[in-house]
Copies of this chain bind each other. A is one copy, B any other.
Amino acid sequence: METNTANASSPVLQMPQLPRTDEGRRMCQVIKVKPEALDEYKRVHAEVWPEVLGALRKANVVDYSIHYFEPLSLLIAHMRYVGPHAEFRKKMQEISENEATRRWWKMTDGMQESFIPGATGSEDPKGWWSGAEEVFRMEG
> Which A residues form the contact surface with B (CB < 8 A)?
2-8, 13, 15, 17, 23, 26, 28, 30, 41-43, 45-53, 56-57, 62-72, 74-76, 78, 100, 115, 130, 132-140
Contact = CB atoms under 8 A, between A and B. Distances in A.
Contact of A62 (B65, B136, B140): B140
B46 A138 contact: no
A100 B2 CA distance: 8
B136 A65 contact: yes
Dominant secondary structure of chain A at its interface with chain B = mixed
B48 A15 contact: yes
A50 B17 contact: yes
A78 to B, nearest CB: 5
